Every structure is written in C-alpha cells, then in structure tokens.
Structure 1
Amino acid sequence: MKTEYSWGDISTLILYVLSFFLLWEWLRPVEQITETANVHFFIIFAGLSLLLYYFEINWIISGAIKTLFILIVLQYLYFDVPFIGEGEWFGEFTSLIGESVVLTVQQNWGGVSDLFRSLLFFVLLWLTAYLMHYWLAVRKQMFLFYLFTVIYITILDTFSPYDGSMAIVRVILFGFLLLGLLGLQRMADNERIALSMGQVQRWLIPLALLIAFSSAAAYAAPKSEPIWPDPVPFITSFNEGAGQGPGGVNRLGYGVDDSELGGSFIGDDTEVFEATVQGDQYWRIETKDTYTGKGWEQSREADSLTPFILNEPTPLTLSEINEESETQTVSIDVSLGYNHVVYPYAPDQLIQGDAEEFRYNPVSDKITSYRNDELVELDEYEWEFREPRYSLQALRNTTGLGDSGTDMSQYLQLPENLPERIRDLTLEITEPEDNWYDKAKAVEDYFSRNDFVYEQEDVPVPEDDEDYVDQFLFETQRGYCDNYSTSMVVMLRSIDIPARWVKGYTGGEIIDNLGDGRSVYEVTNNNAHSWVEVFFPEIGWVPFEPTVSFSNNVSLSYDLDIESGETETPETPEPAETPDPAAPTPLEEETGLTGQVGDDGSNGTGGWTAFKTFVSENRFTLILITLVVAGAGYLLYRTRNRWMPYVLIRYYRSRKGSDVYPKAYSSLLRQLGRYGLRRKETQTLRSYAKEVDNFFGTHEMSRLTDQYERILYRSEAADDKWSNMRELWEDLIKKTTG
C-alpha cells in the first residue's frame, strides 16, 4: 500500500480519475436504453474498484471490500430485510444464485433472476476495472479503450434514443487528457526519471489549454450538413426490399381481411402510436372465431354495439379481476389514425379521449370511437386498467365446461374437411396431461421444442385443396405468428377446448424512460401481432403465445395454494423482449396478421436454424457472456508475461533430448521480449545478454548464452548442459513475472 506520494503519484491519480470518467460514459446510457434501474450503484462500484487499484491495496483485502459492497447492494435491492439481524436472506440469496446458474447451464436465459443478472454486471465491471488498471499501471496505454468508447457512444447516438452530443464532448476532453498524461508517464519510465511538480505542470497546463481551446472552437464553429444520410432509414428500406419475393409480398400493418392467410411480407416501421405506461403490454384490438381452412372470419355480425362514455366502466370483461390489483394508467399518442382504439388486458375505463361515445362489439371485442354518430380517429386517449391475476389451482382444476351454462360452440368450430391427423397429433401431444391448462401449455410449447422455423420469406399460400394449418404442421413447418397462433387455436378446438384468435400489437420499443417507473414505447407496424386466448369457466379468457421467440408479456401472477401444501413453480411467461426493428413482424395489410422474431428471422431446435434462433432470443445475455469471456481472454493475454514462465517451467522440466536446451533458450528470449527487454535486430547474443544481466543485476543470461553458443557453434552435447543449466534458466525466467 502506498505511503509516500510524489507528483508522479498525483499524475497517476489524475489518470485513474480520468479513466473513471471514461468508464462512467459506458454506464450513463444504460438506464435510458434498457430497463436497468439503480445504475448509480454500479457507478460507485466502478469508482471504488479503480480507487482500490490506485492505492495498491492487497488483492485479498480489496477483493473482500468489493465482494462486501456487492452483497450489500444486492441485499438492499432484492431483499426487504436488514443486512444484519432478523431474516435469513443469505440462504435465499445463495439459492437464487444456484438456480440461476443451473438455468444458465440449461440455456434457459429467460428464467434467470434479476439478482443473478445484477451480479454478472458487477463481475463484468470488476473485470473491466482490472483491465483499466492494467492498461494504466503496466502498459500505460489506453488508446484502445478510448477508441471503443468513442465507437460505443456514436453507435448508441445513431441507433438508440440516447443523445450522445455532450457525451462525445466529454469523451474527447477526458480521453485526450488521459492519452497526453500517459504519454508523459511513458517518457518518464523510459528515461527512468521521477516526475517533479514543474515537469507535470509544464506538460499538463499546455495540454489542457490546447484541448479546451480546440474543443471550444469546434463547438462554436459552424457545422456543415451531414455528408451521408441517416443510416437507419437506409437499413430499414434495405430490409424491406430483401423481404420481397416472387410469390406476392405483403406489407406489415393492421388490416381487417383475414380470410386468406400465407405469403411472404416486408417490414414497415411506420409508427402507429406511442404508449406511456409502466411495463410493456400486449395491445389488443379484436378477435375472430371462425376458421375456414384458409383464414379467419366472424361467425356473425353483432346485433348491436354496446355504448359507453369516458369515466364509465368498459363493457368488456376478459377474465376475473382481483379487486386488490393495483390500478394503472396508459396514455396513447396516435400517429397512424384508426377509428378503433387499442387497449391493454383488463381495461377498466377510458378516462381521456376526444370522442362523444365509444362502442363495444361483443362479437369481436373491438372498441370504436364516435363523434356525432360518425366514426372518428382519435389523436390521443388514456386508459385506466388493472393487470389480471390467474389462479394456477383454478386453471389446473379445469377439465371441461361443467355446468357453467356458457355457450362456447362458436369457439369450438372447425371446418368439416379438417384433416384428421391434426387432431391425432394434438391428442399425442396432450396425452400425459389431465387438465385444460396443461394441455394448452403442451400445445404452446410444442412448436419451440420441434423443428419449426420462424420464416418471413417464401412462406407458402395453401393450394385450393390444402388446409392452412395442416400445411404448416406437417409439410412446411415454417411461417410467422399467423401460422403459429392459428395452428394452436385449431389444435385446441380439435380436442374440445374453446379457443379464439386475437389480433393487436406487441409492446413496442422503449424510446424514453420518464424516471417514475413509466416508459414511452414506440409501437410500429412491425409490432402488429396475433396470438391465442383459451377459455376457462372459472376465470375467463387467458392469453397464450405459441409463436417461437415470443413469450406472453401479460403480467401473470399465479395463486400457488395447492391442496397438497407443496409449492410449485409455475411456468410464468416472461415479458417479451422489445422487438428489433430490423426483424419485422409479419402482419399483412390485407390479412391483418403478423409475427415477430429476432434479427435472423428463424427458429428451430435442430442444426443451424436452432443456433440462429438461440442467438436471436438471447442476444443481450450472449453479448454479456461474450464480453466477460473476451475480457478474461484479453486479461490472460495481456498478463501472459506473468503466468507464461510457470507454464514454460513445467513444460521443460519434463522434456529430455538434445534439442531441449536450444528450445528453452529460444523460449527465454521470447519471454524477455514480452517482458520489455527486446533484442535489437543487429544486436549480438552476448551484447544482449549483458544488457539483460545489467537490468536484473545478475550474470545468469551471460552464462546461459555462453552454453547456448557452445552448442550452436561448437556442436557440443546439449543433454548435460540442460541438466546443469536448468535451475539457472528457471531462476532467470521467473524474474520476468515481476
């Protein structure tokens, strides 16, 4: 630990402070472009780590301090009990970590706990801080990290809501100061001089003035127009063109005609609306109940529409709502006008909207807006809603309609000519289950556990004598959400479970975090989607999501009060990831359907398609793991001069033969070069050996070189020389680990 300080130490402290500011720029955007909260804890941890490295605290003590900090923060964030005192939080903590490790090994990234994700983030920062310390204290080079920081800021500024205008100015200021001071440090080390106050001032003051003047001049100078256009629209348009095919291509977006399904599509990132809400939602529009073998229609027209006004209960009940559910609000700012309104699950009432009246269609569940008895397109409106809660016990106790008296015939409808093998397949899938919920889950999971591929191009349209679902299940096994959702509804109906087909939008992409738990989501035509609802007599309509690479993002809270008294962990759907605008979701303008997946647009459990789907589903986790592995690999590479000698020692101890000594000597030369004692091209071995001995204050290199030259030029036997000189060789090569 440092006890005396010089101006060299103070300049080193300045270097660590500037490095911390650069690292801070990596953390600033996290809270805005992701749902990560409490970023200040990670910032404090990064600063603490660099501070401990600067004071050269013993690695055991510093490791204990950082570990304690991580435990305190994680306990504060995820456990509502004191750190010391009552409450056995540590047992639950280790249990959660263990479960998440198992889930990680099983590649179930969605089930990994937030606590484990936070722990991984801390570990990543720990490794990054060590790398920065190594670059500062040992290599005295920081250009690569500085370059990556500039690239990181510019990419986020271009492709995300983050505004990097001031960030790039800060990075330039901190980076140039850092690189300038590191240049001074390297020169001082090469000349082996101690930096005085005057030397630091003569270097630092002109450097700071030059950077400040050039930055101010650049900021105040007039700016020319961009030479290149914004790349985002170009990339989007390129993707749209790539989706075109010879068989007729549709464009994404909501439509009303769903009678003919199939065909390829192209993306459309036209904004439909922005939603300000806490947590992303599935945005519902309507349902359809009649499957024709080619698409969907309504079995009948509504006899009448049910009117309601603002601040009046909505005449729509999808499922039983727990009265204790917390009321939330969502504001919809419309960009692409429709005369219908989108709504979250369990809407209570419309509390704002420039319409005299709203009308609910009890057949399709569609809500439209009216003014002066005419349909009107709203610019904005606001919903009050509560998220539904489903009892797992009630779901699993459902084995039929019982004596509920509810007429579900229209939700059991199937074409007369439906191929029998659809029902046979469904019976095979659901045979082990004894209740509706587990049967529905078995069908929902069937697609992701078999060789079904998410496909946007070359999606076939069934022939006149072909059934749309039969073609998808047994022939193509590729398609988008229309294929998956329609197939699940038909399969459930084939075993007498009432189900219906639902249309709407997925949650969209976060474009702003308001800081109060709410976020602004941009929903585009690429987010148009279709999914499934299953009827349970004691509960109502429950959503399911069969499309591969999707998970139902309705907040589902299960009642686990099982009669046996045991607690089971249900398969709770996780929120769907924010859709990638580069991976359009297939909803056709004419059919009104859609699907969505990651960048590669495919899914499957076998071969290359399975790999591509796995990457698209777990992009963030894989990036995190890649960064950790790359950081660890880079750390091993940069510190190879410390551990490589011990590897070489173990290797050559077990070697015998006449070629061992020359090879060991060559390995020693390479290790000395890695250490910093490089041999010049015109330098003789004897001259180089003297230089090495002068540096270490020994005569070992000269003695080793003398024996090497005897073998090389006099052809003397090498076996005896290696046995005699091995300890000398080991002593010298160990000195390069310091």
Structure 2
Amino acid sequence: MSHNNYALRDYFLYGLGFILLLEWLYPVPYITSGGSVSAFIVIAALFFIITLLKLPIILSFLLRVVVTIGALFWLFPSSQEVQESWFSLVVQDFFDNLIYILAGNVLELSELFRTFLFIVLLSILSYLLHYWIVHVRRILLFLIVSVVYVGAIDSFTDYSGEASIVRLFIIGMILVVTLRLLKNGEKNGSFSFLKIGKVMAFISVFILTAASLSFAMPKPEPQWSDPVPFLETVFGFSSGGTPIQRIGYSEDDSMLGGGFVQDDTPVFEATIEQGEYWKGETKNYYTGSGWDLSIDETNERHVSPPIQSDELEAVEREEKVAQLQFYGEGEQRFNHFFYPGELLSDEIENVHTEQVEPVVIHPVSNQATFLNGQVPPNQYELAYFEQTFQIAGLKEDGEGFSDLEMDAYTQLPEALPDRVQELAEELTTTSETVYDQVRAIERYLRGPEFQYETEDVPVPGANQDYVDQFLFETQRGYCDNFSTAMAVMLRTLDIPTRWVKGFTEGELLETNEDNQSFLISNKNAHSWVEVYFPSAGWVSFEPTPSFSGFNYEQEQLDLENNDLEEIPTPEEQEDLELPEEEAQVEETEEGTNDEAASNEQQSYGWLIGTSIGLLIILSTLVFVFRKRLSTTYVNRKQRSAQSVEDYARSFEHLLWLLRLYGVKRKENQTIREYARYVEKELALQDSPMVELAETYEQFLYSDNKHQLNKQKFDENWKKMLKQITS
C-alpha cells in the first residue's frame, strides 16, 4: 500500500474521531452562553486541521494561540461603550478568574473564562484524538468518558442525550474494532481494507438493529429510585418536589414557592448618604402561582417622566445622589437600573465614560432602562428623591382612583378562594381609612401567627393558590410569601397595589463625612409592596417580619387617644417583641424561580462537563507519560533504598517496569529463566539481569539474607534501567 493510502486511511479514522468530539459540542447551549454550537464546531475543526498539518511544535502552538484569541474575540466582541482595549479587559478578566480559582470559588468564573477553558479543552482533545487514533490505535477510554459526559449533561440539564448515546456507540464501536484490527494487522505485517469495511458495516447494522428493538420492546418500571433528584437537591437545583433554590434576584416570578439556600455572592457596592431599598422592577398581574406583567401592556415601552412633576401633599422628597459599582467586569447580569426611592432625573451618568445618557421608565414594570436598549454600565451614578411619607395626609386620602389604576392594579384570578377576601375584610372591619386598612393587613402578616422560614417552604399544588396556601395552611415563608399575600388581600378590598422586587440596603462597609458604602449581595434580594395614594403616589410597605421598612412621619396625636395602638410608628414596630425565630432571622432575599433554577442547572452542568474534561486531560497525561512517570518513580525508590528489603522491592519494581515496556514474564517461567529471557530480548551483556535475579532469589530462599553487595546491585540496576528506557 502506498504512503498516500495510509494517509487517507488515517485521515478517515481521525475524521470519525472528530464526529465523536462533536457530541461534546452539541450540549454547549445547555452548559454555557458563551457562543453557539456552530461557532465551537468551527473552532474545533481549525484545531483538527492544525494537528493534521504536523507542523513544528512551536509553530503549532502559536497557531493554536491565534485561533484561541480569535475565537474569544469572535464570541466576546469589544464594546464601543468601553474605552479600554479589548486585550486589557481580557487580561483583567483572566486575572480576576485566577483569583477565584485559587480561592476555590469556581462557580464565580466569568463566561469568557469558562469559554476559554472549553476552547483549550478542544485544542488538547484535537491532539489527543490524533495521538490515540493514529499512533496508539486506542479510543476506548475517550469513548467511555464521552458516554459519561453526555449522560451527566442529559441528567442535570434539559439536553436530551438519547440520540447522542446511539451515535457515540455506533461511531465508537466502529473505531474500537477498526483500530484493534489495524493494530493487529500492523503487528503481523498485513491487514485487509475489505475486512475492515465488512466489520464497519456489521457493527453499524448490529447497533442500529439492537437500538431499534430496545426502543420498540416493552420496558418494566424502574426497579431502583432515581438518584438524580437527590443529587439535584444536594447541589441546590432541584427540579421537582419541593425545590431548594439559591437566593438571588430573578426576572421570572411566574412560579413562586419552595425553600432556598443562602448565597453571599456580592452583586454591587453602593455609595449613598444612608441605607435605602433598591428598586429593580414592579409587577401587577397575579396569576395564582406568581407574578407577571399585564398581558396587553407587557411589550409597550413609552418615554414617560421618571418623576411626578406636581408637588404631592402626603410625601416629602429630598434630592440625593447614589453611585453603584457592580461586581464582575463586563458581566452585568441586569438589563435595567436599580435605584432607591424615586428617580429625580430621566438621565443617568456612566461613571466610566462620564457621559450622561437618557433612560426610559416602563409604565407597568417601572423598570429604568437606556432609551437605546443597551445594557447598563458596570458603574453608574443617578439622582433620586428620598421619600418620607406623611401619615396624616395618607389617612385623609383614599378617593380619586382612576379606572386604569383600578383595572391594572386590582386584578385577581377568578379562581382565588373566597376565604382570602373574607380574611382581608375581617382584618379591616374597624379600619376607617384606606391607610388604616393597609396597616392592619401589614401588622397581621408581621404578627405571631406567621413564621419567617427560608428552607422548609412548601410549593403549592397544581390547582392550589399560592396566597391561599400561605395564609391558611403553612403560614411560613419568606419575603415573596408575605409581600404577595399583602398585595392580594389589599386587591380584594379594591385598593390598587403592585408587587415590587429589588434589594434591601445591604451590609454597611464604611462611613465617611457625607456618604456610606454598602455591599449588596444575593442574600439581600427582596420583595415588598407599593400601594397607590393620590396624594403621595406609590407608597411602599414592608409586610415581611424582621425587615425595617420605609420612612414615615407620624402626625401629632393625642396621647389619651385609645386609637394610638392601631397606627404604631416604625420605631414602635421595631420595638415590638418578635418571636424568637424571627429575632434571629438575618436580612434575606427573595427565592429564585424556574429561570434561576435553569441558570443553576447551566452552571452545574458546565461544572460537571468541565470536571469530566479535566479528568480526561489528567488521565490522558498520566497515560501518555506513564512510562516516564513509572521510571522516575522506581528510580527514586531505588536511590532511597537502605535495607535489604528495600533492594528486594527495587527488583520487584524492575519486574513491573519491564512488563510496562512490553517484556512480559510467562506464567511457567522462574525468576532466573525470565532474567535470561530479558537479557536475550534486550541484547544485554555482562548478565546484569541474571545477577539481580540471583540476589533477589538469595533474599527469598537463603537463610543469610543480609549479605548484599549494594555497589554491585546499583551498577546492575543502572545498566538495566538505561537499557529499558533507551
């Protein structure tokens, strides 16, 4: 056979290896958002071509570096808003992620760095597959790991790996058998392409037939319980039953319920005069299981004044400035701004560029976004009104709601149980004003009947209302439960209410003369309620126990008035004795929902895939360099030998090393016969192996074991080691 035919054969087999690698790329959208499948296929193909060219190692390495940098620039292009160069941002990102790795915080790795690791893995696999297929003629290890990889991704993400497993078995078995035949044929000096072709066809037909029959045949019910839900619960991304989620801000609130685990991951730092709640968005459509935007206005975006221009009687507003610095350069997770109180201006300053850019307020969601739809910068400054609500004015208010306000913010599902409204009416029987009604329900939810709980929080059934379950069955939950219950009960009384989500004030870092610095983390994500009063606009209320709430100014009251207890001030509320469980509750946040759980699945799916990839690399490196590693190990052990027993073990290590290099001992051979066989195979002179064998036999069978010529043993040992490794 000509050299060209040999090359074509190897190219064909290497191509089958590339098809196997594609099964690693198809799940990419499910484990990372750093690019599409087609992009990674192109990148992998370039690495395969570089490997096929058989260039000098330095040139091959440089080409791989160029492809890697080009791929990152392709997948993560530079932004016109950022003045720094793309390379400097990438270098800074790499440095930050190396810190995360050294700290053991791998879940915080940026998307760019994760994608970089995946591209490096593709580069290494392109070389390893060529080594396994063309040189070693072995592919079974990679096939097994590929099946495990696809199985793990199939189990822990939404990726369906059934067809992938079938393809892996077909291509993999063809490669395994073909490479075995080639290896035997090359060893014997002959092989038949016709025979290999028949084997390929037989394996393909056999596997397809077996797969079709297994799919068509009836199957018994599983005999063992599924371990995946247990593992998902352990890792914090349960997909069934009572989900255990990770705390944090989520944009999808359609399915509320279930417990969560704490997460101290920092989100942003705020420089502000004093601590404030940070509003992200509001929602007005209650579905019975969660919150959404009203269907007919969800996609409407109008340029509207971010503030109410008229002076309002029941609220005092003071102009303030706040500056936010988000963590994770280039990885802003939110498409909208966060702000305290009420925005003062319809412009926000980009701290990086010092440019002031216009923003738009969605009329329903209350989200503040750039007019051009771009993602907010990593650091920005905004002006806002700090609000102090006047209780006297609020108590005199309550009339004048428009039809739009009533329709959009008093909506309730038809299936809401009647007992929810009955409870709201019972609680507000003695309330004379709308404000009194709001406070009565707020006090009830903050009272001893309810327990603040973040872990053991049930999920409503398929036909069960979220608020009804909380109020009448469980009576335990966190901010989502309390805020949603208050909003729904107020709506049953035709009081316009909307659900608000964002962050609490966070952790105080430092204080200077004019401002304070706060660290806002995932654990500070929170939800509360806003009620509309014509004389004050949207007024915030805090129904969740142990949270401080908002600023109110009490009117002068007659100390002899018996109604004083019905409207306690915030200070009096804070002084009320809370249950022991509530007193120990730290500031917490709203639990994530299906979208957040999906993101967790992607993160853990990526983590599992990367771990498998790193395991492949480590196993491969150990396999490729096994002889060198083994030689270094036995040589070091022999150098440290002191006693006769140590030298005996050195000889046993030598026997193991000979087997590794292919000089195997037959079953019926004695040690001395094997020594002569080794000297013959390796064309040794001066009989170093026989002398070593005699010394070892003396140790085994002689009564005088401690007589040993260590110098002679060392000389023979070095001769053998040199001959074996040459």
Tell me the TM-score normalised to structure 1 length.
0.51
Deviates more, 1:635-644 or 1:90-99: 635-644
Work out which of the residue numbers 707, 712, 723 in structure 2 matches 1:724: 712
Deviations 1:137-190 (A, max 9, x none): 56533234334445655676788665657645543442232122111133235x
Contact residue 34 and residue 115 of structure 2 kept, 8 A: no
> Does 2:215 correspond to 1:201?
no
Deviations 1:431-483 (A, max 9, x none): xxxxxxxxxxxxxxxx9xxxx96344699xxxxxxxx99xx9xxx9x955636
Change (3 A) 1:420 1:733: farther
Contact residue 33 and residue 111 of structure 2 kept, 8 A: no
> Does 2:612 correspond to 1:627?
yes
Residue matched to 1:180: 177
Residue matched to 1:69: 67
Following superposition, the deviation at residue 659 of structure 1 comes to: 1.9
Following superposition, the deviation at residue 721 of structure 1 comes to: 3.0
Residue matched to 1:669: 655
Tell me the distance in 2 between the aligned counterparts of 1:407 and 1:235: 59
Contact residue 157 and residue 601 of structure 2 kept, 8 A: no
Tell me the distance in 1 between the aligned counterparts of 2:94 and 2:632: 34
Change (3 A) 1:62 1:720: farther
Structure 2 unpaired stretches of 5+? 231-237, 244-251, 261-279, 309-334, 336-358, 396-434, 461-469, 488-496, 503-524, 532-536, 545-588
SS at match of 2:720: helix
Residue matched to 1:376: none
SS at match of 2:669: coil
Following superposition, the deviation at residue 72 of structure 1 comes to: 2.4
Contact residue 287 and residue 500 of structure 1 kept, 8 A: no
Contact residue 482 and residue 594 of structure 1 kept, 8 A: yes
AA paired with 2:185? A
AA paired with 1:209? A
Residue matched to 2:695: 707
Change (3 A) 1:503 1:119: closer
Following superposition, the deviation at residue 662 of structure 1 comes to: 0.6
Change (3 A) 1:617 1:214: closer
AA paired with 2:202? L
SS at match of 2:387: coil
Tell me the distance in 1 between the aligned counterparts of 2:181 and 2:74: 43
Q: How does 1:294-373 map to 2 (within 5 A)?
A: none
Q: How does 1:207-222 map to 2 (within 5 A)?
A: 207-214=199-206
Following superposition, the deviation at residue 664 of structure 1 comes to: 0.5
Residue matched to 2:17: 19
Tell me the distance in 1 between the aligned counterparts of 2:595 and 2:642: 55
Work out which of the residue numbers 649, 674, 680 in structure 2 matches 1:688: 674
Change (3 A) 1:95 1:735: farther
Following superposition, the deviation at residue 685 of structure 1 comes to: 1.5
Residue matched to 1:531: 527
Select the structure of larger CA radius of gyration: 2
Residue matched to 1:132: 129
Contact residue 676 and residue 690 of structure 2 kept, 8 A: yes
Deviates more, 1:179-188 or 1:709-718: 709-718
AA paired with 2:455? Y
Following superposition, the deviation at residue 115 of structure 1 comes to: 2.0
Tell me the distance in 2 between the aligned counterparts of 1:637 and 1:73: 29
Task: Kindly tell me the number of residue pairs found equivalent between the two proteins.
Answer: 490
Deviations 1:612-660 (A, max 9, x none): xx99895245324522442244235423222121122223213322222
Contact residue 173 and residue 203 of structure 2 kept, 8 A: yes
Work out which of the residue numbers 3, 27, 30 in structure 1 matches 2:28: 30
Quick one: percent identity of the two aligned structures? Answer: 24
Tell me the distance in 2 between the aligned counterparts of 1:533 and 1:419: 14
> Does 2:104 correspond to 1:112?
no
Residue matched to 1:377: none
Contact residue 27 and residue 39 of structure 1 kept, 8 A: yes
Tell me the TM-score normalised to structure 2 length.
0.51
SS at match of 2:184: helix
Residue matched to 1:444: none
Deviations 1:568-600 (A, max 9, x none): xxxxxxxxxxxxxxxxxxxxxxxxx98447999
AA paired with 1:227? K
AA paired with 1:184? L
Deviates more, 1:479-488 or 1:616-625: 479-488
Tell me the distance in 1 between the aligned counterparts of 2:447 and 2:479: 23
AA paired with 1:671? L
SS at match of 1:400: strand
Contact residue 49 and residue 129 of structure 1 kept, 8 A: yes
Work out which of the residue numbers 91, 94, 99 in structure 2 matches 1:97: 94
Tell me the distance in 2 between the aligned counterparts of 1:726 and 1:121: 47
Contact residue 32 and residue 602 of structure 2 kept, 8 A: no
Following superposition, the deviation at residue 121 of structure 1 comes to: 0.7
Following superposition, the deviation at residue 531 of structure 1 comes to: 3.5
Contact residue 641 and residue 736 of structure 1 kept, 8 A: no
Following superposition, the deviation at residue 705 of structure 1 comes to: 2.1
Residue matched to 1:654: 640
SS at match of 1:454: coil
Residue matched to 1:454: 455
SS at match of 2:216: coil
Following superposition, the deviation at residue 684 of structure 1 comes to: 1.4
Following superposition, the deviation at residue 21 of structure 1 comes to: 1.0
Residue matched to 2:480: 482
Tell me the distance in 2 between the aligned counterparts of 1:223 and 1:665: 55
Tell me the distance in 1 between the aligned counterparts of 2:704 and 2:4: 53
Contact residue 456 and residue 479 of structure 1 kept, 8 A: yes
Change (3 A) 1:66 1:224: same
* RMSD of aligned alpha carbons: 6.3
SS at match of 1:677: coil
Following superposition, the deviation at residue 97 of structure 1 comes to: 0.6
Residue matched to 1:425: none
SS at match of 1:659: helix
Following superposition, the deviation at residue 37 of structure 1 comes to: 1.7
Contact residue 137 and residue 179 of structure 2 kept, 8 A: yes
Residue matched to 2:44: 46
Change (3 A) 1:116 1:202: same
Tell me the distance in 2 between the aligned counterparts of 1:115 and 1:240: 27
AA paired with 1:188? G
Tell me the distance in 1 between the aligned counterparts of 2:539 and 2:94: 35
